[in-house]
Amino acid sequence: MKVRRELEEMGRAARRAARLLARASGMRRDDALARMADALTARRDEVLSANEQDHEAARANGANESFLDRLLLDEGRLAGAAAGVRGVLSQPDPLADVFDERVLPNGLQVFKRRVPLGVIGVIYESRPNITIDIAALCVKSGNAAFLRGGSEAVRTNSALAGLASECAAAAGLPRESVQIVRSTDRALVGEMLGMKDYLDLMVPRGGAELVRRVAAEAAMPAITGGVGVCHAYVDRKVDVDLAVAVAYNAKVSRPSVCNALDTVLVHSAIAPAYLPKLAAEWSKDGVEIRADRRALTILGQSAGEGVRPAAPEDWGREYLSLTASVRVVDTVDEALEHIEAYGSGHTDTVLTEDDAVADRFVREVDSGVVLVNASTRFNDGGELGLGAEVAISTNKMHARGPMGLRELTSYKWVALGSGQVRN
């Protein structure tokens, strides 16, 4: 009961903050972001020391390496977060956006004006840079942020959210523009998912279990996303070295995140030339391969102990680690069917020199981001030019793929008349 009362108080404060944020000038909102970016450098030690405590506690609790990697902040990642805030800051003010203007035959002047959604609830796990990304995106777009991070990162997240909140206040915006739930009581998540009077949108960022729970329980609209079962289809007509380099990057550059590659589908005509080279590259980083029967036959002669037969559950699995599955297919159709059956609508890439194959892949793969001859790792708000992202949506409603500033807004229709009435 006490928890609920506290959350409701936070919710009311968030509503008030959202109303003021929606009316605040773009200059004031930008000022808050500039202060956040500066504070991430100026108050670096304070944040890193909070993160060190979280990291040590997690390690003592036996957290695995992928988890510890996601939790970790260092000077580099903090500088990256500050650069992310500056990237968001440099974007045009989404609330200055007026679009779809027209004058109707009766003289009514109609247009749409972009408006904030209101209060954005975000429930996330480990990665603490999310705190600052979301604070920046919300404040810039005139939304209040209502955050609940993972309990293992509570010190880091509180430090970052406190910093963002103080920067908002210093810019003349409500302190409650950014709020974080500091209690680590697990019942909180359920309470938050019921707060439809206070939260206009719920964004889960975390593993499949969290995403499923939010989709099932959230009383407000919720984004589904963050679960990326990512495929690369290597066509028969392909630059083998390019396809090795892309699949290597997609798997190895940061295996713990949702846009990392999970499954390679390779055309049988190129598989004997391609797979051994890929396996050799991957083996340098210790990637474990789960291979179908035909891939196993090909790799059996060249690869070492890092290759195992794939089990049925390897298809459609998000590894989040240095593991990947490989399957040999005989046609583009087989690859498309595999992706339709096992993909999560997140990110898929085709590696081919055949324009017709690329075009079909782009048209028929029903995913948020579809790439040609490029790494799946580019499904990312920063990489795609949004500054940063609040989530990567696999929904088709509202927003799909990386959600930046514009995706945190709605619009209102405005019609300016001179006494028009309807017949």
| Residues making contact with a copy of itself (CB under 8 A) | 23, 102, 104, 108, 110, 113, 115, 117-118, 200-201, 221, 239, 242, 245-246, 248-250, 253, 358, 362-364, 366-375, 377-380, 383-385, 395-398, 400-402, 410-423
Provide the token pair at 404.
Answer: 């930046």
> What distance in Å separates the CA atoms of residue 74 and residue 54, rounded to the nearest whole number?
13
97: three-class secondary structure by DSSP = coil
Q: At what angle do helices 355-364 and 332-342 cross, to 10 degrees?
A: 20
> What distance in Å separates the CA atoms of residue 46 and residue 101, rounded to the nearest whole number?
48
We find the least distance from the C-beta atom of residue 110 to a copy of itself, in angstroms, to be: 6
Q: Which is nearer to a copy of itself, 314 or 389 (by Cβ)?
A: 389
We find the least distance from the C-beta atom of residue 329 to a copy of itself, in angstroms, to be: 20
We find the least distance from the C-beta atom of residue 99 to a copy of itself, in angstroms, to be: 12
Q: Which is nearer to a copy of itself, 309 or 385 (by Cβ)?
A: 385
Q: Which residues contact 348 (CB under 8 A, 6 or more apart)?
A: 230, 231, 232, 233, 339, 361, 365, 367, 369, 370, 371, 376
Q: Which residues contact 329 (CB under 8 A, 6 or more apart)?
A: 233, 265, 266, 267, 268, 335, 338
Q: Which is nearer to a copy of itself, 23 or 293 (by Cβ)?
A: 23
We find the least distance from the C-beta atom of residue 207 to a copy of itself, in angstroms, to be: 21
Q: Which is nearer to a copy of itself, 155 or 400 (by Cβ)?
A: 400
Q: Which is nearer to a copy of itself, 209 or 239 (by Cβ)?
A: 239
We find the least distance from the C-beta atom of residue 186 to a copy of itself, in angstroms, to be: 25
Helix (H) or strand (E) holding 336: helix 332-342
Q: Which is nearer to a copy of itself, 293 or 363 (by Cβ)?
A: 363
We find the least distance from the C-beta atom of residue 259 to a copy of itself, in angstroms, to be: 9
> What distance in Å separates the CA atoms of residue 403 and residue 185, rounded to the nearest whole number?
29
Give the position of tokens 């619009």.
411
Please count the CA atoms within 13 angstroms of the CA of 64 that sit on its side-chain side.
5
Of 219, 223, 224, the C-alpha closest to 194 is 219
Q: Which is nearer to a copy of itself, 84 or 150 (by Cβ)?
A: 84
Identify the DSSP state of 173.
S
We find the least distance from the C-beta atom of residue 247 to a copy of itself, in angstroms, to be: 10
We find the least distance from the C-beta atom of residue 121 to a copy of itself, in angstroms, to be: 13
4: three-class secondary structure by DSSP = helix
Q: Which is nearer to a copy of itself, 23 or 59 (by Cβ)?
A: 23
Q: Which alpha helices (H) appear in 117-239, and where do they start and end?
A: 129-140, 154-170, 187-193, 208-217
> What distance in Å separates the CA atoms of residue 391 and residue 404, rounded to the nearest whole number?
8
401: three-class secondary structure by DSSP = strand
